[in-house]
């Protein structure tokens, strides 16, 4: 196990020393450029842009060239007394024409279709911008998680070294006949358990790095890419400022945050757009009760038994006016079905809107709670360090037992890990707050 510990330590040292470093902003820029999910979101926005352009084309005339070939088994002949046989339809008949259709009045269908496409584009644009913010948050999250796990690795390594030292001292005392077997075995269990935990952390660290590389859209070619170390004193000072807020100041900042959230949050904007789209869908269903008007111009320049474009030509202009009178209630039932379906969807959107506001408030309060935990753990860390110093001294004087020293070691390790974990979680929570408002 000692060899395993040394190998893990060596790997971590090589990773830290020889790794190429990257700042948080560089990581965000790289992820925005290469992350596959963001590229996919951009394609969705492009599709919405073309859908809006397609809606515009529905207002414009549509022209088409039509060629028809009618093939019969034989010529269609009608016999007329005295006059003889008359050919009604030859067995081959070709018709060539150009047709132009222009909608004049479609009961608002074309306009509503355009408005829905326009709202879809705004929604896709908002969604794309939100994806960018989510990507920034995920990048920061992975960035800080790597630094946190690296910090925990260092703490765990110190714990292994400490337990190893106590275990070796217990072995010497046992060989000298002044140490208890229970003391030796308990330090051995602590040492080997700490080594096992360190090995597990090393595996988690390797998997986290793979996720990091995949998120940035890069290939791991053997060269390590590590986040730049962060000055945690500045984070601690920032947390201290938040923790020292009075109740009035906390309420004031929370209200300012929620007001900004209400005005700028992309998800809230998309919910409002979704409601507008549902409203247009109800209006669309109402158009089934209204008339439509359109023009059709057809120019036929060939109609004979040979495909030579030299047949007789003629043209027609048709104005098509349609008024729905009685559809056995199908248009009314369709409208009512759409109405209640839309009402149900709006109720769901209102619920999501309320949950989103609650989540925004919870995120800010979690941020405040983390600041309080950091403030408390700063004192706890100082206390745990002072406690182990005193316990070590008393153990050396024979006034306390090795069990007291174990308890002090465990307390120091727990408080230290909690302290550094909260510092990095505090930074992650800061970036999560940015998801709820534009900055």
Higher pLDDT, 326 or 110: 110
pLDDT score, position 79: 67
pLDDT score, position 11: 47
DSSP string for 148-170: HHHHHHHHHHHHHHHHHHHHHHH
In this predicted structure, the answer to whether residue 88 has a pLDDT above a threshold of 80 is no
Residue 283, SS3 per DSSP: helix
In this predicted structure, the answer to whether residue 162 has a pLDDT above a threshold of 90 is no
Distance, CA of 201 to CA of 153 (rounded, Å): 7
33 pLDDT band, cuts 50/70/90, is confident
Candidates 38, 18, 45, 44; CA nearest to 217 is 38
Structure tokens at 399: 């006034």
Candidates 429, 48, 14, 20; CA nearest to 216 is 20
15 pLDDT band, cuts 50/70/90, is very low
First vs last C-alpha separation in the chain: 50
pLDDT score, position 12: 47
Question: Which of 8-12, 42-46, 343-347 is the most confident on average?
Answer: 343-347
Candidates 326, 346, 327; CA nearest to 281 is 346
Structure tokens at 407: 């308890």
CB pairs under 8 A, 24+ apart, for 23-26?
Answer: 23/227, 23/228, 24/139, 24/140, 24/143, 24/227, 24/228
Candidates 140, 194, 200, 205; CA nearest to 167 is 194
pLDDT score, position 376: 94
Tell me: the pLDDT tens digits for 244-285?
999 999 999 999 999 999 999 999 999 999 999 999 999 999
pLDDT score, position 187: 85
Q: Are residues 34 and 216 in contact, defined by beta-carbon separation less than 8 angstroms? A: yes
Distance, CA of 148 to CA of 153 (rounded, Å): 9
For the segment 107-136, the average pLDDT, to the nearest whole number, is: 91
125 pLDDT band, cuts 50/70/90, is very high
Share of the chain above pLDDT 90, in %: 52
All domains in the chain, ordered by first residue: 2-434 (1.20.1600.10)
In this predicted structure, the answer to whether residue 169 has a pLDDT above a threshold of 50 is yes
Phi (first) and psi of residue 82, to 5 degrees: 75, -50
Distance, CA of 114 to CA of 106 (rounded, Å): 13
Q: Inter-axis angle of helices 24-34 and 109-175, to 10 degrees? A: 130
Distance, CA of 233 to CA of 122 (rounded, Å): 42
Higher pLDDT, 178 or 379: 379
Candidates 410, 385, 379, 374; CA nearest to 156 is 410
Tell me: the pLDDT tens digits for 41-61?
788 889 999 999 999 999 999
Q: Which residue has the tokens 């660290």?
A: 205
pLDDT score, position 10: 45
81 pLDDT band, cuts 50/70/90, is low
pLDDT score, position 222: 61
pTM of the predicted model as reported, rounded to 2 decimal places: 0.77
Candidates 165, 55, 62; CA nearest to 120 is 55
pLDDT score, position 4: 46
For the segment 135-155, the average pLDDT, to the nearest whole number, is: 92
Q: Which residue has the tokens 């949950």?
A: 355
Q: Are residues 428 and 141 in contact, defined by beta-carbon separation less than 8 angstroms? A: yes
For the segment 307-315, the average pLDDT, to the nearest whole number, is: 77
In this predicted structure, the answer to whether residue 175 has a pLDDT above a threshold of 70 is yes
Tell me whether residue 288 is exposed, middle or buried, using C-beta atoms within 10 angstroms of its C-beta: 0 to 12, 13 to 18, 19 or more.
Answer: middle
Q: Inter-axis angle of helices 402-434 and 109-175, to 10 degrees? A: 160
């Amino acid at each position: 196990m000692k060899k395993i510990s040394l190998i893990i330590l060596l790997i971590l040292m090589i990773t830290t020393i020889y790794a190429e470093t990257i700042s948080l902003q560089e990581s965000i820029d790289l992820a925005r450029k290469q992350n596959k999910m963001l590229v996919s979101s951009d394609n969705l926005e492009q599709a919405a842009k073309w859908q809006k352009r397609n809606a515009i084309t529905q207002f414009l005339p549509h022209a088409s060239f039509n060629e028809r070939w009618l093939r019969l088994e034989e010529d269609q002949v009608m016999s007329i007394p005295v006059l003889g046989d008359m050919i009604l339809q030859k067995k081959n008949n070709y018709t060539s024409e150009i047709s132009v259709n222009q909608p004049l009045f479609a009961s608002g269908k074309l306009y509503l279709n355009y408005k829905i496409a326009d709202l879809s584009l705004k929604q896709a644009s908002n969604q794309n911008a939100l994806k960018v913010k989510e990507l920034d948050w995920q990048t920061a999250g992975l960035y800080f998680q790597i630094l946190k796990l690296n910090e925990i690795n260092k703490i765990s390594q110190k714990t292994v070294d400490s337990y190893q030292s106590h275990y070796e001292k217990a072995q010497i005392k046992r060989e000298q006949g002044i140490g208890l077997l229970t003391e030796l075995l308990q330090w051995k269990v602590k040492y080997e358990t700490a080594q096992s935990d360190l090995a597990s952390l090393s595996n988690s660290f390797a998997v986290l790095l793979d996720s990091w590389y995949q998120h940035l859209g890069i290939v791991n070619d053997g060269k390590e890419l590590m986040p730049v170390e962060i000055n945690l004193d500045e984070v601690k000072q920032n947390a201290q400022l938040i923790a020292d807020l009075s109740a009035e100041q906390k309420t004031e900042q929370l209200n300012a945050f929620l007001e900004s959230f209400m005005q700028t949050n992309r998800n809230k904007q998309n919910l409002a757009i979704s409601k507008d789209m549902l409203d247009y869908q109800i209006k669309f269903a109402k158009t089934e009760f209204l008339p439509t008007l359109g023009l059709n111009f057809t120019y036929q320049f060939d109609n004979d038994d040979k495909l030579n474009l030299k047949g007789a030509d003629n043209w027609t202009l048709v104005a098509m006016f349609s008024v729905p009178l009685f559809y056995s209630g199908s248009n009314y039932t369709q409208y009512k079905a759409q109405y209640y379906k839309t009402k149900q969807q709006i109720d769901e959107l209102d619920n999501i809107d309320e949950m989103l506001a609650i989540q925004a408030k919870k995120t800010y309060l979690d941020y405040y709670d983390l600041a309080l935990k950091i403030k408390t753990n700063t004192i706890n860390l100082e206390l745990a360090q002072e406690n182990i110093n005193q316990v070590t001294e008393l153990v050396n004087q024979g006034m306390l037992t090795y069990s007291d020293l174990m308890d002090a070691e465990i307390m120091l390790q727990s408080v230290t890990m909690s302290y550094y974990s909260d510092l990095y979680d505090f930074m992650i929570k800061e970036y999560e707050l940015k998801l709820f408002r534009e900055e």
